[in-house]
Amino acid sequence: MKKIFWDLLNSIPDYKEFLTLDEMNESSRKLALKYPDCVTEFELGKSSEGRSIKCLRIGEGSKNSLIFGCPHPNEPIGTMLLEHFTEELAKSEELRKELDYTFYIVKVWDVDGFVRNEGWLKGPYTLYNYSRNFYRPVAYKQVDWTFPVDYKELHFHDTIPETAAMQKLIDAEAEQKSSVQKADAIKTLAEAKASEFAATGIAEAQVMEAKAAATEKQGDADAHIIEAKAEAEAKGIELKGLANAQTELKIGLAKVDVEKNKGFVEAEIIEAKAKSVETKGLAEAKVDSEKYKAEAQGILEKAEAMKKLDGVGKEHEEFKLELEKQKEIDLAQINIQKDIASAQADVLAEALKSANIDIVGGEQEFFDRITGSITKGKTLERTISSSDTLSKVKAQLLDNVEGKTFIDKIKTLIADSNLKSEDIKNVTISALLAKMMASSKDNKQKGLIEHVMYLVKEFGLDNLSTDSLDM
């Protein structure tokens, strides 16, 4: 075996792991970029799952060679052989010339199945890891088993995409080889025809030489006749040409006049059309202007209306927020009042347990009076709480400030009025307050007395005499 082939075998690396599909495709891409003069990468086709099947074309030999790896995806050793071989072919012109092939190399044919085996390609190389990640399709789906067949009663055409892609490459190679053979046959036939025509030409040349010698003498005589005839014909042609030239000149001048007049007419038509278009354009521009003004005005009015509505909406939102706030306050007050009422009920219940009360008029009447007093008190409390004025009066009269009671504060009002001691003897509280109202000159004090009259009536003190209250 030649040394160049021994060198090729000895240069095989000591691979420690297998390459993945992506790694081999990237290696092929870089090889084509590094050696563009002798390496071409192209897509052979798509797999059943849409993956690209890559093919490398290396060299320009007189014969074609197709090499492929991984028709069975669990057998990746062939891919590593092709990985090394493509590198050596690309970088060694001597090797390519020695082999004299145009190589078509597919490193991985069943790309889908190969990807399913990648779980064990990098190791660990154990039986367990291999069996866990092993994949090989059933026979009728293997790439080298699904070429179309028509033989007697056997017909198979369920070809998968990987097989169809390889078949297309094989057919292209066969067609190229057939074309070369046809070209060689045509070349051989042409050479035979040329030899035949050459032999025939020699004989015809000898005959023509004899004819030429015979014709030479006759030619001398005919030459004088032809010369005279030619002179006559030349003279006739000259005269005819002159006449034709004059005619053509007149026709040309007439055509010029016609085209000139035609041009004037067309120019007038164009000018009229231009004026018409201009008038139409001005009219349309005016219509568009009015239209845009109307639209702008409409937009302006709409903006103003929306601006006003924005204010209304803002006020509405503020009202809703205030209403929600008041609702929460009222609910809180209700819960507070409920808790107070519950506590008061507990206190009253404990008090009534130990109280010695003589019930006059029956138990139902006694209960009605108690609940009526409580209801009246709660009603009065709500009325005072909802009125700023009554709340101020309550603070001035009922709140125990500096040790003064309600009666002490009424006495203070009497002292501030112009009433004499005789005026307050043996009269009811309501009559006393009426006299104070009549005698007061201060509007603020009158308002205070008026609210005191309301409170006195609500407390049930209006018919009590001043003597009973020690006034």
pLDDT for 256 equals: 47
Give pLDDT, residue 339.
Answer: 79
* Residue 413 contacts residue 397 (beta carbons within 8 Å): no
Mention every residue, 6+ apart, whose C-beta is less than 8 A from residue 190.
none
Radius of gyration of the CA atoms of the chain, in A? 63
Q: pTM for the complete prediction?
A: 0.41
| Total domains, the chain | 2
Give a yes or no: residue 262 inside a domain: no
> Identity (one letter) of the amino acid at 428?
T
Measuring CA to CA, which residue among 165, 63, 23, 161 is closest to residue 106?
A: 165
Q: Which of 89, 65, 67 is nearest to 79 (CA)?
A: 67
Q: Is position 445 within any domain?
A: yes
Phi, psi angle pair for 122, to nearest 5°: -100, 5
Q: Write the pLDDT tens digit of every residue in 131-154.
A: 999 999 998 899 999 999 999 999
Per-residue pLDDT, 225: 47
Q: Give Cα 34 to chain centroid, integer Å.
A: 40
Structure tokens at 53: 């099947």
3-state secondary structure the chain: CCHHHHHHHHCCCCCCCCCCHHHHHHHHHHHHHHCCCCEEEEEEEECCCCCEEEEEEECCCCEEEEEECCCCCCCCHHHHHHHHHHHHHHHCHHHHHHHCEEEEEECCCCHHHHHHCHHHHCCCCCHHHHHHHCCCCCHHHCCCCCCCEEECCEEECCCCHHHHHHHHHHHHHHHHHHHHHHHHHHHHHHHHHHHHHHHHHHHHHHHHHHHHHHHHHHHHHHHHHHHHHHHHHHHHHHHHHHHHHHHHHHHHHHHHHHHHHHHHHHHHHHHHHHHHHHHHHHHHHHHHHHHHHHHHHHHHHHHHHHHHHHHHHHHHHHHHHHHHHHHHHHHHHHHHHHHHHHHHHHHHHHHHHHCCCCCCCCHHHHHHHHHHHHHHHHHHHHHHHHCHHHHHHHHHHCCCCCCCCHHHHHHHHHHHCCCCHHHHCCCEHHHHHHHHHHHCCCHHHHHHHHHHHHHHHHHCCCCCECCCCCC
**pLDDT tens-digit map of 209-226:** 656 565 565 555 455 545
Q: Give the C-alpha separation, 137 to 160, whole Å.
A: 12
- Give the domain CATH number at 19: 3.40.630.10
Q: Within its chain, how far is the Cα of 376 from the centroid?
A: 70
pLDDT at 33: 97
State which of 118, 145, 172 marks the end of a domain.
Answer: 145
Domain final residue, candidates 96, 121, 145: 145
Report d(CA 435, CA 364) in Å as an integer.
40
Return all residues near 159 (Cβ < 8 A) that are at least 6 apart. 146, 147, 148, 167
Q: Are 430 and 457 in contact (CB under 8 A)?
A: yes
Q: What angle do CA 260, 265, 268 make, to 5 degrees?
A: 125
Distance CA 187, CA 469 (A): 151
For residue 418, give the nearest of 434, 436, 445, 432 by alpha carbon. 436
pLDDT of residue 398: 54
Domain termination site, one of 145, 162, 179: 145
- Phi, psi dihedral angles at 465 (to 5 degrees): -85, 160
b or e along 205-225 (b: 16 or more beta carbons within 10 Å of the residue's beta carbon)?
eeeeeeeeeeeeeeeeeeeee
Q: Is the residue at 337 inside a domain?
A: no
- Check residue 195 and give left, alpha or beta (phi > 0: left; psi -120 to 50: alpha): alpha
What residues of the chain score a pLDDT lower than 50?
207, 221, 225, 256
Q: Identify whether 202 is part of a domain.
A: no
Query: What's the pLDDT at 35?
Result: 97
Residues 6+ apart with CB under 8 A from 62: 100, 101
Q: What pLDDT was estimated at residue 288?
A: 76
| C-beta atoms surrounding 351 within 10 Å | 9
Phi, psi at 244, each rounded to 5°: -65, -40
Residues in the chain: 471
Q: Give domain status of residue 457, yes or no.
A: yes
- For CA atoms 401, 407, 410, 412, the dihedral sign is negative
Dihedral sign, Cα of residue 253, residue 259, residue 263, residue 264: positive
Domain that holds residue 423: 379-471
User: Residue 364 to residues 328, 335, 355, 373: CA-CA distances in angstroms?
Assistant: 38, 29, 18, 14
Question: In this structure, is residue 269 part of a structural domain?
Answer: no
* Residue 467 belongs to a domain: yes
Strand-pair category, 52-58 with 101-106: antiparallel
